[in-house]
Structure 1
Amino acid sequence: MKMKMELTHEEVQHLVELFHTYHDTILSEWLKVANISEDDPFLSEVTANGGHTIRLLVAYIKDPETLLIEQLTRKIAIERVEAKVGIGEFISNINLGRSIIYRVFNRVNIPDSYQMKYLMVINDFFDLYMYHAITEYTRVKDSIIQNKNQFIQEMHSDRLSILGQVAASFAHEFRNPLTSIKGFIQMIEKDATTETETYFRIIKQELDSLEDKITQFLYLSKMKGLDDQSEVFALESVVQGMMEFLYPRFLDENINVHHHLADHSYMFGVEGQIKQVLLNILNNAVEELSEIKGERTVKVNLCELDGNIQLTITNNGSMIPEHLLEDIFEPFISTKQLGTGLGLSVCKQIVEKHKGSIQVISTEEKTSFVMTFPKADLEGELHDSDDSLQCQ
C-alpha cells in the first residue's frame, strides 16, 4: 500500500531522524496526558505499546506496509477489551498520541516545505492505525457478546429442561390423588341435598381448574401427548365448537364475536391439543377485554394461505408491552399480574408439535395471534391449494 504523500529519500531520512531524536519526549508527554488507570491489568504493556507505535510509525515512513499495523492493533485491542476500557477512551488515547507528535514537532525547527508533507504522512499512518484498532476492538467485543449470549441460551435451555422434568414429576404426583378425589366426590354427590349442590358444583369447578393447570405443566414438560392418537380433523369445526363453548363468557363480558371460517380446513394432529390452544388464546382475549371500556371485539378468521391453514384470533384489548412481546411465548412470562405465564408457552409447543408456527402482532388498536398449520386432505396428505379458501 502506497502513502498518499510521497517523500523524497532525503525527507524520509530527516523524518526518521526526528522520531529517533524525540522518541522519549513523545512517549513521556503522551503518558502524562493519556487516560490510563493505575488498576489497568496491562499497565506495564501500555508504555511498551506506545514505544512500539512510534517505532511502527518510523517503519511505515520507510515502507508503508499495513501488516505490522494490523498485528499491533490486534494485540492492543485485545488488551483494552480485557482491561474493560471503553472504545471512546481507547480512541481518545490514540488521538492524544497523534496530537503529542504534532506539538513536539511544532517546537522543532522544521523547514516549511517539509512540515505539511510530514503531517500528511503522520495522518495517513494514524488513520490506518485507528481503522484497524476500531475494527479489532469491535471484533473482540462482538465475539465476547456472542459467546455470552450462547452461554445464556444454553443455560436457559438447561434450566427449562430441568424445570420440565420437575414439573412433570410434580404434575403426575398431583394428578393421581386428584383423580381419586374426583371419583369420591362423584360418589358423595349422589346423596347431595339442595343445600350442598352449590358446594359440590364449586368443588368440581375448582378441581377442573386444578386439573387444567396440571395439564399445562405436562404440556410444558413435553411429556404430555406423546402417545395421543393423531388423526385428520376439520379445524373449522373445532374452532366453531370452542366459540360455542365460550359463548356464555362472551355474553357475560359483552364481547362481540365476528368469525369467518373456511370450510374443508383439514389438518392432521391431536384434536384435543388444538382445543387447548384455542381455549388458552380465547380465554386470554376475554380476560384482556374485561379490563377495557367501550366496544369489545374478538375476530376469528380461518383461511388458506399458500397451501397452509392460517388461523388468526384478534382482540381490541390493550397492546402487549414491547419489552414482553419478544419473549411472550417463554414460560413464566405473563402480562397478567397473577398469571402463571404457562398458557402461551404451552400453545407454542403444541402448535410446533403439529409442524405449525405461531406469532403475535400487537398494536394500540389490536392484538392478533396468527397460527399456521400444514393443510391435509381426508387421508392426511397435503391438500392442493383452493382459491376459494385463500386469505384476503
Structure 2
Amino acid sequence: MSNLKNEAEETAKLIAFLSDHHETIVEEWFGSALLSPADPFYKEIEHNGRHTLLALTAYLHSNELEMTDRLTRKIAQERIEAEANIGDFVFNINKGRKIVTELVFCSLLSEHEKGKGIMKINDFFDQLLYMAVKEFSRLKDEIIKSKNQFIQEMHHDRLTMLGQIAASFAHEFRNPLTSIKGFIYLLQKEQPFPEKSSHYFEIIQNEMESLEDKVTQFLYLSKMKNLEDRVRPFHLSQIVHEMVDFMYPRFSESNIVHSIVITPGIWVEGDPSQIKQVLLNILNNAVEELCHIQGERRINVHLTKDEAQCEVKIVNNGEQIPAYMLENIFEPFVTTKSLGTGLGLSVCKQIVEKHSGQIIVDSNNKETAFLIKLPYMAK
C-alpha cells in the first residue's frame, strides 16, 4: 500500500509542477515549432498545444488515452487539410517532448521522481506520435484511394467513349472497304492486264487486307463480339503447330532459332480463328522484337496440360519490357513499338478471356514469356 501511495504522491507532484509551468511550456513550444503564418489552422495550433498538456496530465494520472485519441484525430485532420508536411508535424511533437523533459530534468524534484516522470512523459509522447501518424496516414490513404477511384472511373468513361467512336468509325470504314475489294476483284477478272498493273493490283489487295485487319481490331476492342455460332471443340495442338509452321518463313528470314514442344491431343472449346489470331499476334510481336537484337535469336513454344487447363507458353530472348509498361501491357494503346497502335495485345486479352482463359506476361533481362491458359476439354 505504501508503494502505491508513494507513486500517487510522486505523480501528483509531477502534475502540479507541469501545471505551474503550463503557460511557459506552451509559449516556448509555440515559439520554437515549425509553423507558417499562412497555415489555415495557425490559431488552432497553440490551442492544440494546451490540450496536449491536458492529455499528458490525464495520462500521468491514470494512463488514460481517450483525450489523446480525440486530440490526435483533430490534429491529423487539420494537418491533412493544411496539406502540411508530416516531417514538420513529427518535429513539432518531439520539440514539445524536449521542452517538457528538459524542464522536469531541471526541476527541484528528486532524482528518482525526475527519472520516473521523464520515462512516463516519453511514453505519452510515443503514444501521441504513434496515434497521430497512424491517423494522418489513414486519412492520406483515403484521399489517395478516392483519387485513384476517380481516375479509374474517368479512364473507364473515356475508354467507353473511345470504344463507341472506334466502333462507329470501324463500321464506316468497313462498308466502303468491302465494296472496293469487290470492284477490284471484278476488275482483275474482267480482262488481262500488263504485268506491272497486276503487281499494282496485288499491292492494293495487300493494303486493303491490312486495313481490314486494323478495322477488325478496333471492332474487337470497342465491343468484343460473342462467340456466336463459331464455338466448337477444336484441336489446339494442331492449331499451335499450324501457326508455328505458318511463321517459319519469317523465322528463317530473321535468323530466329525456334523450338516447339507440344503435348498431343489437347482439345479446347471456342473459336479457332480467334485463337489463331492471338497466337499469330504474339509470335509476330516476338519476331519484331528479336529483329532489334544482335546475337542469337530464339523463340520457344510449349503446349502442356493438366486435368483442368492447358497452357501455351511463347518465349523469346528479346529485350526486357520495362516494369512500368509491363503492368499495363494489355491496356489499349500501350505499346513498345514506335509505330505500333497498341491494340494487338489488348485484343488478345479480350479474346482469351472470352474463352474463359487467362493471359500473363513475364519479362526479365534474359527472356520475355507470354502464357495463355485455357480450359482443357476432355475428348
Name the TM tier (shorter chain): over 0.9
1:100 maps to 99
**Matched ranges for 1:199-278 at <5 A:** 199-278=200-279
Question: Residue type matched to 2:37 in 1?
Answer: E
Aligned length: 374
Query: TM-score with structure 2 length normalisation?
Result: 0.94
* Counterpart Cα distance in 1 of 2:5 and 2:94: 23
More helix by share: 2
Deviation, 1:320, is 0.9
Could you tell me how far 1:87 is from its partner in structure 2? 2.2
Equivalent runs, 1:1-392 vs 2, <5 Å: 8-190=7-189, 191=191, 192-378=193-379
Q: What is the CA–CA distance in structure 1 between the aligned matches of 2:250 and 2:374, rounded to whole Å?
A: 27
1:196 to 1:225, Cα distance in 2 relative to 1, 3 A: farther
- The root-mean-square deviation of aligned C-alpha atoms, in Å, is 1.7
Encode CA deviations 1:212-258: one digit per residue, 9 max, x unaligned.
11111111112435535211100112112222222222221122221
**Maintained 8 Å contact 2:302/2:314:** yes
Secondary structure, aligned partner of 2:312: strand
> For the residues of structure 1 that align with 2:44 and 2:206, how far apart are their CA atoms?
72
Deviates more, 1:109-118 or 1:35-44: 109-118
Native 8 Å contact 2:333 2:341 kept in 1: yes
Alpha-carbon distance between aligned partners in 2 of 1:127 and 1:187, rounded to the nearest angstrom: 86
Query: Percent of pairs identical after alignment?
Result: 50
Secondary structure at 1:233's aligned position in 2?
Answer: strand
Q: Deviations over 1:116-149 (max 9, x none)?
A: 1221121121121122112212221222222222
Gaps of 5+ in 1: 379-392
Counterparts of 2:58 and 2:8 in 1: how far apart (Å)?
14
Q: CA deviation at 1:309?
A: 0.9
SS at match of 2:175: helix
SS of the equivalent of 1:8 reads: helix
Per-residue deviation, residues 285-340 of structure 1 (Å, max 9, x unmatched) = 11111111222221111110342111011111111111111111111111111111
AA of the residue aligned to 2:51: H
Distance across 2 between alignment mates of 1:219 and 1:320: 25
104-113 vs 231-240, which deviates more?
104-113
- Give the TM-score, by structure 1 length: 0.91
Q: Which amino acid aligns with 1:303?
A: T
Equivalent position amino acid for 1:148 in 2: K
2:33 maps to amino acid: A
| Worse-superposed segment, 112-121 or 328-337 | 112-121
Distance in 2 between residues matched to 1:186 and 1:7, nearest whole Å: 107
Q: Gaps (5+ residues) in structure 2?
A: none
| SS of equivalent residue, structure 1 residue 131 | helix
Deviations 1:77-134 (A, max 9, x none): 1211222222222111110001111233344433333211221121121121122112
Going from structure 1 to structure 2, the CA distance change for 1:142 and 1:6 (only over 3 Å counts) comes to: farther
1:221 aligned partner, one-letter code: S
Q: Return the alpha-carbon distance in structure 1 between the equivalents of residues 43 and 66 of structure 2.
A: 24
Q: In 2, Cα distance between the equivalents of 1:74 and 1:369?
A: 48
Equivalent position amino acid for 1:256 in 2? V
Task: Sort the Cα spacing of 1:84 and 1:14 in 2 relative to 1 into closer, same or farther, 3 A.
Answer: same
Q: Please tell me whether the aligned partners of residues 73 and 136 of structure 1 are also in contact (alpha carbons under 8 angstroms).
A: yes
User: Using the alignment, how far apart are the partners of 1:274 and 1:6 within structure 2?
Assistant: 83
Give distance in 1, aligned partners of 2:83 and 2:365: 41
